[in-house]
Amino acid sequence: MTAIPNTAGLSAPPLRRISELTRYRELMWMLAWRDIRVRYKHSILGAAWAIIPPASMMLVFTFVFGQVIDVENERLTGSANLPYSLFAFSGLVPWMFFANGLTGAIGSLVSNRPLVTKIYFPREVFPLSAMISAFVDFVIASFVLVVLAVVLHFYPNGWHFHASWTLAYLPIIVLVQIVFMAGLGLLLSMANLFYRDIGFLFRAIIQLWMFSTCVVYQLEATAPWKRTLIQMNPMTPIIRAYRDCLIVGRSPFDQPFAYAAAVATLTLLIGWTWFRRREFEFAENI
């Protein structure tokens, strides 16, 4: 017999809800660690699979743009000396975090059906733990990005890395991306609970989303009217901000990034509010 969920906390004020969610942080970390162990269990390469997808995509795009299509490096990266491999990898690492985190969050409620229907605790734990699991892969791949930058720094191609004070802005950029992901993760995980088509639809859209986010090419390489449309995608300023901090040494805080931060905050507020209001229906619809 399915237990009736405790709805006392569903109408609680936001600060109280956050406090309640904080009390279950150990459960969140436990679920994230479980996802990591399951993902790499019986895997020979283990955590190397956090690196292989973005690295393989980087090699593919480097070959296509450099050998097959033969596009000028300056058109792709905005600099004649900046190696395209580093440019592409610096965009693919945060993008894979975005894609993998949301993919895990979408199915998090459905895959944890026994916990959702039998025990009460903040259901936000499930999509957030999926994003924590993806964040671990993001950190691992980021170390490889640093290694790649060091190797290319000493490679005789005319490009050299120069440490800049803009690196201090990196945590803010990561935070904005996480806020955006959290909002979308709450919305999509709930929508997938009621309509399973959402998971299939997302897997199709996420591929198209990447090519409209300037992950593997610079924004200036597109036509003016296309740039306007692409800038409306919040992930475009976020990806560009990573490159500005890490590679270019330029402040990422401009109008497009402020727009992305505002959209991320609004998405989280809408996603969390809607999630809380519909949470009492989860057990009967899962």
| pLDDT, tens digit (0-9, with 9 covering 90-100), for 31-56 | 899 888 888 877 777 778 888 889 99
Give CA–CA dist 165/174, Å, rounded: 16
Residue written as tokens 């440019």? 87
Give the CA-trace dihedral at 113, 18, 170, 187, to 10 degrees: 40
29 versus 79: the higher-pLDDT residue is 29
Task: Tell me what the mean pLDDT of segment 20-39 comes to.
Answer: 85
Predicted confidence band of residue 5 (pLDDT cuts 50, 70, 90): very low
- The answer to whether residues 215 and 60 touch, using CB atoms and an 8 Å cutoff, is no
Residue 209: helix, strand or coil by DSSP?
Answer: helix
Closest listed residue to residue 60, CA positions, set 36, 83, 42, 85: 85
Predicted confidence band of residue 263 (pLDDT cuts 50, 70, 90): very high
Give CA–CA dist 122/18, Å, rounded: 9
Confidence (pLDDT) at 185: 95
Task: Tell me what the mean pLDDT of segment 186-208 comes to.
Answer: 91
Give CA–CA dist 149/251, Å, rounded: 19
Confidence (pLDDT) at 240: 93
Confidence (pLDDT) at 91: 94
| pLDDT, tens digit (0-9, with 9 covering 90-100), for 205-254 | 998 899 888 898 887 766 777 777 788 899 999 999 999 998 888 888 88
* Mean pLDDT of the chain, nearest integer: 85
- The answer to whether residues 208 and 116 touch, using CB atoms and an 8 Å cutoff, is no
Helix, strand, coil percent values for the chain (each to nearest 5): 75, 0, 25
Predicted confidence band of residue 6 (pLDDT cuts 50, 70, 90): very low
Angle, helices 170-194/125-153, rounded to nearest 10 degrees: 140
State both tokens at 186: 């709450």
Task: Tell me what the mean pLDDT of segment 21-32 comes to.
Answer: 85
